[in-house]
């Protein structure tokens, strides 16, 4: 029996809470955050800042805020400024301003009493603690929607208007509000909205190549050299792109694929492990989804599954699939159909989400169709199709 060798070098680099030292494709937004907040280093206490970071799931909102917080506190420390970054997930604290402030206070006083205060009293206590310690805080409110949904304008107003109540005193509390959609703040009254909407940073969905770059970076941090093929990374990037450019989804897939590789003691992460990983998150195709296919669609798909089962590639040409399909037809005593008919099968299977197909240049000799099996393990698909074909279904 071969000795177990993990593909991972440091799988903590794939943890959802890990913040890379460099944020790929978010430099512009990080620079903007620092520009909005430059006064905290140049003249701390002169003003407070309120910033919104918005974008879809997996666009890097949380990582951007946390990278900014780490960079700012490090630079502040070099300048002798007592600046803290406090990150609170509002949903985790049920959208309660009291619980959110309680968590913020506990950063400075871990044994602070958990009862006996109202939210407003806690806010005043928090500011008093900052005065006593001559400290400044960037309070990042992640999933800000939860606070808005539960407590509405009143809670947000207390936070955003704190600077007015401290006229003439050091402004010690700045806010970063992180949310998916700006529609959430439409619930707020006009005066409260006006305090939030001046500094908005919008994160666009990642393009596929940007996802490849992000995944390559994580591979270099988390995996042993050459453990993850370019084909596997390309497949994961394509899947993450199809999920609205969700980098978080892609990183989770990368981790799961590594775990499947370790379970099977493969020593590397092939595309088949990626397919197993995604089918564990998004349920794989069921027999009832395959049964309605025509006989030759099943035969063609069986040939495709055999190709991917036997090699380490994420894509194959339609020409190669056509050759394997012809062999499968011979095994089942069927006459193979034409290239034109196979192209129609590919289009139908792509529409059903079973295959992906794209047309690409081919060595200067025209264009070729490349086929990918993205979400179903080839081994599973082969077994399901054989079962159906043997039963004549």
Query: At 53, which helix (H) or strand (E)?
Result: strand 50-55
Instruction: Using a pLDDT cut of 90, give the percent of the chain over it.
Output: 76
Q: How confident is the model at residue 1 (pLDDT cuts 50, 70, 90)?
A: very low
Q: 9 lies in a domain?
A: no
pLDDT at 363 over 80: no
Q: Cα(227)–Cα(224) distance, rounded to whole angstroms?
A: 6
Q: Which residue has the higher pLDDT, 310 or 128?
A: 128
Q: 186 lies in a domain?
A: yes
Residues 39, 179 within the same domain = yes
Cα dist from 198 to 140, 181, 240, whole Å: 17, 16, 32
Q: 244 lies in a domain?
A: yes
Instruction: Using a pLDDT cut of 70, give the percent of the chain over it.
Output: 96
Q: Give the pLDDT confidence of 30-43 residue by residue, as tens digits.
A: 999 999 999 999 99
Which of 156-165, 271-280, 310-319 has the lowest average pLDDT?
156-165
Q: How confident is the model at residue 283 (pLDDT cuts 50, 70, 90)?
A: low
- Give which of 19, 28, 95 is closest to 60, Cα–Cα: 19
Residues 361, 381 within the same domain = yes
Q: 84 lies in a domain?
A: yes
Segment 314-337 shows an average pLDDT of 94
CATH number of residue 195's parent domain? 3.40.50.300
Residues 274, 179 within the same domain = no
Residues 233, 272 within the same domain = yes
What is the extent of the structural domain holding 254? 206-281
Mean pLDDT, the chain, rounded, equals: 91
Q: Which residue has the higher pLDDT, 80 or 117?
A: 80
CATH number of residue 265's parent domain? 1.10.8.60
Residues in the chain: 393
Q: 47 lies in a domain?
A: yes
Residues 102, 215 within the same domain = no
Q: How crowded is residue 103: how many other Cβ atoms within 10 Å of its Cβ?
A: 16
CATH number of residue 381's parent domain? 1.10.10.10
Residues 72, 117 within the same domain = yes
pLDDT at 266 over 90: yes
Q: Cα(29)–Cα(158) distance, rounded to whole angstroms?
A: 28
Residues 43, 187 within the same domain = yes
- Domain end among 146, 179, 203: 203
Q: 8 lies in a domain?
A: no
- Domain end among 203, 229, 244: 203
pLDDT at 287: 60
**3-state SS class at 358:** strand
pTM (two decimals): 0.87
Residues 223, 196 within the same domain = no
Residues 313, 363 within the same domain = yes
Q: Into how many domains does the chain fold?
A: 3
Residues 216, 324 within the same domain = no
pLDDT at 3: 63
Q: Cα(206)–Cα(23) distance, rounded to whole angstroms?
A: 12
**3-state SS class at 51:** strand
């Amino acid at each position: 029996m071969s000795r177990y060798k993990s593909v991972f070098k440091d799988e903590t680099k794939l943890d959802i809470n890990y913040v890379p030292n460099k944020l790929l494709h978010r430099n512009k937004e990080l620079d903007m955050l620092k520009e909005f907040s430059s006064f905290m280093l140049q003249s701390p206490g002169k003003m407070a800042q309120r910033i919104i970071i918005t974008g879809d799931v997996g666009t890097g909102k949380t990582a951007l805020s946390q990278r900014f917080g780490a960079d700012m506190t490090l630079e502040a420390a070099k300048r002798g400024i007592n600046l803290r970054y406090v990150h609170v997930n509002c949903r985790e604290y049920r959208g309660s301003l009291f619980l959110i402030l309680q968590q913020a206070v506990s950063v400075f006083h871990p044994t602070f009493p958990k009862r006996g205060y109202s939210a407003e009293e806690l806010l005043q206590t928090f500011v008093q603690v900052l005065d006593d310690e001559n400290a400044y805080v960037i309070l990042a409110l992640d999933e800000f929607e939860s606070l808005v949904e539960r407590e509405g304008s009143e809670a947000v107003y207390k936070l955003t208007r704190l600077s007015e109540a401290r006229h003439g005193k050091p402004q010690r509390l700045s806010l970063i509000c992180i949310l998916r959609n700006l529609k959430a703040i439409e619930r707020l009254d006009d005066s409260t909205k006006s305090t939030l909407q001046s500094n908005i940073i919008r994160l666009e969905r990642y393009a596929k190549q940007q996802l490849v770059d992000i995944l390559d970076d994580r591979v270099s941090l988390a995996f042993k050299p050459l453990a993850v093929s370019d084909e596997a990374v390309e497949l994961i990037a394509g899947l993450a792109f199809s999920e609205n450019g969700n980098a978080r989804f892609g990183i989770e897939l990368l981790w799961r694929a590594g775990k499947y590789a370790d379970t099977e003691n493969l020593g590397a992460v092939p595309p088949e492990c990626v397919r197993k990983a995604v089918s564990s998150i998004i349920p794989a195709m069921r027999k009832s989804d395959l049964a309605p296919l025509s006989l030759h669609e099943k035969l063609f798909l069986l040939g495709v599954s055999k190709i991917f089962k036997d090699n380490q590639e994420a894509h194959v040409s339609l020409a190669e699939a056509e050759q394997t399909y012809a062999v499968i037809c011979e095994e089942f005593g069927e006459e193979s159909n034409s290239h034109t008919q196979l192209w129609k099968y590919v289009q139908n299977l792509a529409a059903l989400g079973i295959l992906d197909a794209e047309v690409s240049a081919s060595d200067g000799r025209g264009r070729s169709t490349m086929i990918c099996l993205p979400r179903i393990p080839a081994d599973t698909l082969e077994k399901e199709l054989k079962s159906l074909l043997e039963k004549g279904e």
